[in-house]
Amino acid sequence: MLLARAAGPSLGNEMPTKKYMCIQRSPRRTGEPPSPPSAAQMQEMFASFNAWKDKYKDNILDMGGKLMPGGKVLSAAGVTDGPFVEVKEIVGGFMIVAADNLELALEVARQSPGLMSPGSSIEVRELSTS
């Protein structure tokens, strides 16, 4: 597997020494939901996503996925419904990428079609190996 360089092919078969979690966030919607994209817009979005996924296929270890609405929050006090209404942004999904350093992990995230939506962001955090 060629994973050492996020922006292009690796020299050799080096494995990156670090893993990063990318957390997709979107602003909480208020008011009317946006109109669905047209068939042409959907085709363009899928093409963009597939091109990005193919470009970084060796870096994306776990594509994660979209989180469904709702869920529960577990604490020492018990279980409650979540996420809570007062949140200003929604965690919509995650993925795990391999890269030699934070800058390369950021490059994978920066190219992600997930940033196309206004107000969207991706938090990139290194996973501890200890």
Q: Which comes out higher in pLDDT, residue 107 or 16?
A: 107
Q: Residue 3 — very low, low, confident or very high, per pLDDT cuts 50/70/90?
A: very low
Query: What local confidence, expressed as pLDDT, does residue 14 receive?
Result: 67
The mean pLDDT value for 92-119 works out to 89
**Residues β-bridged to residue 72:** 81
4 pLDDT more than 80:
no
**CATH number for region 18-29+39-126:** 3.30.70.1060
- Tell me the H-state helices in the chain: 39-55, 102-110
Percent of the chain with pLDDT over 70: 82
Average pLDDT for 77-84: 75
At 15 the pLDDT is 67
What's the pLDDT tens digit per position in 54-79?
A: 999 999 999 987 777 778 888 788 88
Contacts of 4 (CB under 8 A, 6+ apart): 10, 11, 12, 14, 15, 16, 100
Q: Any idea where the domains of the chain sit in the sequence?
A: 18-29+39-126
pLDDT band at 88 (very low <50, low <70, confident <90, very high): low
- Confirm if 48 and 56 have CB atoms less than 8 A apart: no
- pLDDT beyond 80 at 90: no
Through-space distance between the first and last CA atoms of the chain, rounded to whole angstroms? 24
What mean pLDDT comes out for the span 3-23? 62
Q: How far apart are CA 12 and CA 4, in angstroms?
A: 9
